[in-house]
Structure 1
Amino acid sequence: MRLENTGIEDSIVDVKPLDHLMGKHAFIRGGQWDYERVTYDYKIGSKEKNITYYIRILGYAVEGDVDRGNAVIKLSTPLLGKHYYPHGVEYGEHENFPENLVERATNLVSKVKEEIDIYKK
């Protein structure tokens, strides 16, 4: 599910302060090796058996190199996903997300957005 109109989409930020502020809000940058892209995930536990939710914020380098730490990142629309063990995460619109979870995810992204505004280019 796309978390539309959060204000994060299309924000442009240097990767080093972005890593710092995302970590401060418990968003973990994926450990995949890539020169051009970043992925930040926030894990939300669930009482449902074998279900975990994730907020994912994606970005790509508009200049520089992520691996070297000199990238300037443009962020995309955040996603809310549902992980089905052992199959993986689904972000599709056909997924059913509890209203309180969507509200929680939107609030978390809004807090991150406030800090991103400080560092926006």
Structure 2
Amino acid sequence: MIQRRHTNDRMSQSVTHKSVVYLAGQVGTPGNSVAEQTRECLEQIEKLLEEAGSSTKHMLQAIIWMADMKDFAEMNEVWDAWVPKGHAPARATGSADLATPGHKVEVIVTAAVAE
């Protein structure tokens, strides 16, 4: 069974298939600092995971896109404080042009459904 949440014609914010939750890329408010955008992304991820029956302790993978890698340390400071100790997902970070010039970070998470 596939369950889609917060769906429109273009995309779903989360899709659950069997025991895996796939989240769309989450972004913060354009123009905010990298730290604030990261916090906003992570808050949205927590809500979407909880809604799907998962949590940050069940994250399998995270992909982080940054508009500029010079902001890597600022993003990591927020990320490191947020990830539950002992539950860090596999992770990749790279740079890319994001949806608007004001977006500085986008986070995509895949997680297991909590058992």
TM over 0.5: no
Q: Which has the larger radius of gyration?
A: 1
Whose helix fraction is larger, Structure 1's or Structure 2's?
2
Q: TM-score, with normalisation over the residues of structure 2?
A: 0.29
Q: TM-score, with normalisation over the residues of structure 1?
A: 0.28
